[in-house]
Chains A and B, each alone.
Chain A
Amino acid sequence: MPKKILIIDDEADMQTYLKVLFEKAGYETMIAANGEEALVMLTDMQPDLITLDVLMPRKSGLNFFQALRSGDTTKNIPVIVVSGIAGHREFFDSDPPGGPIAFVDKPIVPDKFLGQVKKLLGE
């Protein structure tokens, strides 16, 4: 059964890009346009990994991450933060509790990015 990846990004093009990339690599994808939408989705499903943008309307990536890590059922989900903001990893705790976290700068290199995804998924 394919593993599920939740893509959280407000940019439609980014959503499409990651969706095609992951599906081509054999993963199942779900899309949320912001943190708020993603938290609603997490009440019904449990993804194996989340890719997270930082700057988004309604609920930013950082706020979503804090909510994610404070939920009993969601705190161990691995997260890859994908952002074009220079030094975006500074916004997050250096060693946050819960599941693993990785940071990727835009623009991504597809093979390298998929390698990190596999690593976080333990493949």
Chain B
Amino acid sequence: MPGSIDSRYLIRVYNWTISSKIRVAAAGVILSIILLAAAIFLHPALFAVITLVILLLLGFTAYRIRNTGVALEYPGVDRFFQQVPCYLTIQDKDMRIIRTNEQFRVDFGDRRGELCYKAYKGIEDICPNCPVIKTFDDGKTHHTEETVVTKDGKMARMIVYTAPVTDETGKVVGVMEMSTNITQVKDLQDQLDAGRREYMELFERVPCYISILDPEMRITRANKLFRQVFGNNIGKLCHQVYHDRDTVCDDCHVVKTFKDGKIHNIEKTVIKPDGDEARLIVYSSPILDEKGQVVSVMEMATDITEVKRLQRELIYMGKTIAFMAHRIKNILMGLEGGIFVVNTGMEDKDDAMVNQGWNMIERNVKKVSQIVKDLLYCSKEREMNFQQIDPVSIVRNVYELYQGVAKKAGVGLRLSIPDKLPVGRFDPDALHSLLSNLIINAIDACVGDASERKDSHQIEIRAWCDKRCGYVFEIEDNGAGIPGIIGETIFDDFFSTKGREGTGLGLLVAHKVIEEHDGTITFRSSEGEGTIFKAVFPPCAEE
């Protein structure tokens, strides 16, 4: 087989033949003498056979030597072969390396005559997808990426190109392999890929909503949290997703960023797919192309619903403290005044004055007690004590309690309730407190009413129950009414006309009680005309 001749032998023979013409001539002479001797001493037939075999072997060897020579002397090889700053080798059909350049020998040693996969990788089998074989097969250039081991045992990543070495007839007699060490490039690429993956991971996992918008306000990308909460809305308009509407929001910060390329922020309320509202703080940041033009805008939103709630609570707490301080100062004044009046009465031996002072003290102690009670209702300290009761008795009790107070204030108090209502689930003390506070507010609203066109001030307490609405309690007065601007926050804030009896916490207490009963409280008011508060409790369960 042609391939059975070791190319190391061929290279050696080739180098030997081209290195000294005298040696070649001498070899020819020796061979001729041997043949002459054989012709003299051997049988002519045997001589003919031996001569034929020798000529065949010589012919075949000469053919292989010629191929090796063509490959080795490939036009132009010598000119650049050694200087090229990459690994250059030439392989013969047996995959043996027959020529190497300087760079290759520095990093891999002189591996001429060795199988290329052994020399490059130290393996025993031809590499899968070998470009050298492909080039031998089709005579074309091929390339691949390979990981090899240098002579000092280091791994190196290579990009390998192969080109055919042909003889004058165009036959592929060898393959030149050019390998470039791309270890550093690959390492950088790996780092780049790792960085890209890290950024993608960051983009995906950052605990806020991130979306990328194009100039048409379409969402082109969104992170995981955004997709989880608002759905996979890629391609949709952001105002559709956030606000379920077809027009761009007024004063849109994304539009501003597209216009001026700057970062803008805004606080806005959006509707989540589950129907809940969320308060978001949203930043829009430009994404620029290589010319510095804004091509898209990144919108980053953080849900601050809970923060806002806490902020409201803090404001509320601040107001509570300020309000309480004011209230307590007044009570202290009342107590100190009471003591002063008692002492003055005792000095003057005036029993009426002593009584007057004592009443002042009693009233203010009661106020302290009421404030503490109201504060307990507003806070979470008090557990509800639900019982199955007919609320009529509570309503009647509150009515009787405040009849005298109302009369003293010049206000008529009427009761319009049935004799009985179905038994329902109530906390009796809480219901009592709610109704008391609403009646106290109603009395204060009547006392503070400056209108001169009303003949008298009246309060009416109504209660009824139906299976659909549940229990309804209404307190209607024709007092001063509630100004519109106060009405907006009436249940979230202190509402006080600085009435004589109220603590200012009344509506907060009412709101708290109704919440605990899963009910609702609303009001209708007209400034100068009066107010109706309506507390609705859930209907009683069907028997």
Contacts and interface: CB of A to CB of B under 8 A. Distances in A.
A106 B330 contact: yes
A99 interface: no
Interface string A13-43: 1101110110010000000000010000000
A18 B357 CA distance: 12
Contact of B334 (A14, A36, A58, A110): A14
A12 B357 CA distance: 11
Interface in B351-367: 353, 356-357, 360, 363-364
Contacts of B326: 84-86
Given A55-B498, A86-B322, A20 B340 contact: yes
Contacts of B356: 16
A59 to B, nearest CB: 8
B34 interface: no
Given A11-B500, A13-B364, A84-B333, A57 B448 contact: yes
A106 B333 CA distance: 7
Interface string A51-85: 00001111100000000000000000000000011
A13 B360 contact: yes
B450 A20 contact: no
Contacts of B341: 16-17, 20
Nearest to A53: B498
Interface size class of B (residues with CB under 8 A): 20 to 34
B363 A13 contact: yes
Nearest to A12: B500
A60 to B, nearest CB: 9
Contacts, number: 76
Contact of A57 (B325, B344, B498): B498
A97 to B, nearest CB: 27
Contacts of A106: 329-330, 332-333
Given A55-B498, A57-B447, A84-B326, A16 B360 contact: yes
Interface string B317-337: 000001001110110111011
Contacts of A10: 498, 500
Nearest to A17: B337
Nearest to B367: A13
Nearest to B338: A13
Contacts of A11: 330, 333-334, 500
Interface in B338-395: 338, 340-341, 344, 353, 356-357, 360, 363-364
Interface centre among A10, A13, A17 (most CB of B within 10 A): A13
Contacts of B332: 106-107
B333 A20 contact: no
B447 A13 contact: no
B497 A57 contact: yes
A58 B444 CA distance: 12
Contacts of B447: 57
Contacts of A85: 326
B498 A13 contact: no
A11 B334 CA distance: 9
A13 B497 contact: no
Interface string B472-514: 0000000010000000000000000111100000000000000
Contact of B450 (A17, A36, A55, A110): A36
A108 interface: yes
Contacts of A58: 448, 450
Contacts of B340: 17, 20-21, 110
Nearest to B497: A57
Interface string B183-220: 00000000000000000000000000000000000000
Contacts of B499: 57
B325 A108 contact: no
A57 B344 CA distance: 30
A37 to B, nearest CB: 10
A59 B450 CA distance: 9
Contacts of A59: 450
A14 B363 CA distance: 12
Shortest beta-carbon contacts, A-B, top 5: A17-B337, A57-B448, A84-B329, A13-B334, A106-B329
Interface of B: 322, 325-327, 329-330, 332-334, 336-338, 340-341, 344, 353, 356-357, 360, 363-364, 444, 447-448, 450, 480, 497-500
13 contacts: A13-B363, A14-B333, A16-B360, A17-B341, A18-B337, A20-B353, A20-B357, A58-B448, A58-B450, A84-B326, A84-B333, A107-B329, A108-B336
Given A10-B498, A106-B330, 7 more contacts: A16-B341, A17-B334, A55-B498, A85-B326, A86-B326, A107-B332, A107-B333
